[in-house]
């Protein structure tokens, strides 16, 4: 008589439950708010449901990416980062020749009819390279000087290629890499020296662009855009009664009005007024629409979701058996948190307009796809950490 052993049911979601909960919660908020904020897109497409359908397709692609990547072992991440990094550098270089000019910046390229932002792929690969490299070179007494500069070299190359067209993404990449160096216990002297050398090289690079291309080129016209954004931030009068709405401060002003006209629970989904005055209500200023429609409670929920994600990455890193997965998951958690707070800071008027999307909430194809990959890597490492903990518990169990 044969005995049939029941098979263990196959799990399709193997990663951390809290991370999956944050992922789908942000997706739900995104669908509601992009649908509400996309009135201009609906008019342009002659379809009221066009913004919702397109965002659903973007988020479905992000979910598919997260689902697939969660089954890839983190050991392959370093090699994929090298291959993807080389491809992203080629794509970045191609934007200077075949890029689509949007808002005086050629940061997009079209491949088979699909618009792709190579800087997002490059940012992902550089972060993965930095975290994996730092983890492999980690020593008990801190990393060596060679490690810091080995990480900064590809970072500077990426910065030099991205900054002329998309300074905010380039700065976000640099801040994230230095955060990884800080987490990696690089000696303070080498850390500060790296910041100084990187800053000097960046100034020389930007000055060289201005002198070589001249003031009328596409690349140097971005200097005018950056200067204009800083002036918008600095020109605000001390007396509110003297404030005048101009073309320079119109976007930030209506974002502030959106927050000021709300309350604890907001006007309700779909009842925003300022969405019709904000040109980027569905992307750069979507946090302002969340504040107007969902109120302080909605804003708190969004901030809480990103904080939960960051805390969970820290918890997952603590569970990892090796340094490599711990560095990778903490690096990804850091860059997602920095990008989220950068978008929120723009909406509330704390910093000049950066153009950074709110991860998984703002409308976007490339950005949401890359964010889905970020989540997939976190989930993959969380599954690995859980397996390590189970094996450790089995070894310590005398009855096992």
Q: Per residue in 272-304, pLDDT tens?
A: 888 888 878 888 889 999 999 999 999 999 999
pTM equals 0.86
The answer to whether position 10 is within a domain reads no
**pLDDT, mean over the chain:** 80
Please check the confidence at residue 203 and state whether its pLDDT lies above 90.
no
The answer to whether position 105 is within a domain reads yes
The answer to whether position 272 is within a domain reads yes
The residue range of the domain holding 28 is 17-387
Residue 214's alpha-carbon distances to 161, 162, 181, 206, 210, in angstroms, are 18, 19, 36, 12, 5
pLDDT of residue 252: 80
d(CA 94, CA 236): 39
Most confident of the ranges 49-53, 147-151, 267-271, 360-364:
360-364
Most confident of the ranges 75-84, 172-181, 199-208, 373-382:
373-382
d(CA 159, CA 155): 6
% of the chain at pLDDT higher than 90:
24
The answer to whether position 183 is within a domain reads yes
Residue closest to 210 by CA, chosen among 200, 218, 195, 220: 220
User: pLDDT tier at 3 (50, 70, 90 boundaries)?
Assistant: very low
% of the chain at pLDDT higher than 70:
80
Please check the confidence at residue 226 and state whether its pLDDT lies above 70.
no
The 10s digit of each residue's pLDDT in 88-101 is 888 888 877 776 66
Under 8 Å CB-to-CB from 167, ≥6 apart: which residues? 222, 226
pLDDT of residue 222: 56
Please check the confidence at residue 6 and state whether its pLDDT lies above 50.
no
The total of structural domains in the chain comes to 1
What is the number of alpha carbons within 13 Å of residue 225 lying toward its C-beta? 20
Please check the confidence at residue 344 and state whether its pLDDT lies above 70.
yes
pLDDT of residue 398: 58
pLDDT of residue 1: 41
d(CA 236, CA 273): 23
CB 389 within 8 A of CB 397: no
The answer to whether position 342 is within a domain reads yes
The answer to whether position 166 is within a domain reads yes
The answer to whether position 98 is within a domain reads yes
The answer to whether position 3 is within a domain reads no
């Amino acid at each position: 008589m044969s005995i049939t052993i029941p098979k263990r049911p196959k799990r399709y979601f193997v990663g951390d439950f809290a991370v999956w909960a944050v992922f789908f919660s942000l997706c739900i908020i995104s669908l509601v708010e992009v649908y509400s904020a996309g009135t201009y897109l609906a008019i342009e497409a002659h379809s009221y449901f066009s913004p919702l359908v397109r965002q659903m397709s973007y988020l479905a692609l992000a979910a598919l990416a997260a689902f697939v990547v969660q089954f890839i072992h983190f050991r392959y991440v370093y090699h994929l980062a090298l291959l993807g990094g080389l491809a992203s550098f080629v794509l970045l270089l191609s934007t200077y020749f075949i890029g689509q000019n949007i808002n005086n910046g050629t940061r997009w390229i079209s491949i088979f009819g699909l618009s792709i932002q190579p800087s997002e792929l490059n940012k992902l690969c550089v972060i993965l390279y930095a975290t994996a490299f730092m983890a492999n070179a980690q020593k008990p007494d801190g990393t060596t000087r060679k490690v810091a500069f080995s990480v900064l070299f590809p970072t500077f190359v990426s910065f030099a290629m991205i900054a002329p067209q998309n300074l905010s993404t380039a700065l976000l990449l640099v801040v994230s890499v230095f955060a990884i160096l800080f987490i990696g216990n690089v000696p303070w002297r080498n850390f500060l020296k790296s910041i100084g050398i990187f800053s000097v090289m960046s100034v020389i690079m930007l000055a060289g662009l201005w002198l070589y291309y001249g003031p009328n080129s596409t690349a140097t016209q971005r200097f005018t855009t950056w200067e204009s954004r800083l002036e918008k931030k600095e020109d605000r009068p001390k007396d509110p009664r003297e404030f005048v709405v101009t073309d320079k401060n119109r976007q930030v002003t209506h974002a502030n009005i959106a927050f000021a006209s709300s309350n604890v629970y907001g006007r309700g989904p779909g009842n925003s007024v300022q969405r019709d005055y904000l040109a980027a209500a569905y992307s750069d200023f979507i946090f302002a629409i969340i504040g107007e429609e969902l109120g302080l409670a909605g804003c708190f929920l969004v901030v809480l979701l990103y904080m939960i994600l960051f805390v969970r990455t820290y918890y997952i890193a603590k569970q990892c058996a090796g340094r490599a997965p711990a560095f990778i998951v903490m690096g990804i958690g850091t860059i997602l948190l920095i990008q989220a707070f950068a978008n929120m800071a723009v909406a509330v008027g704390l910093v000049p307009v950066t153009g950074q999307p709110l991860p998984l909430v703002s409308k976007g194809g490339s950005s949401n796809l890359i964010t889905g990959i970020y989540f997939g890597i976190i989930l993959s490492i969380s599954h690995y950490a859980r397996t390590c903990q189970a094996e450790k518990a089995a070894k310590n169990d005398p009855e096992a």
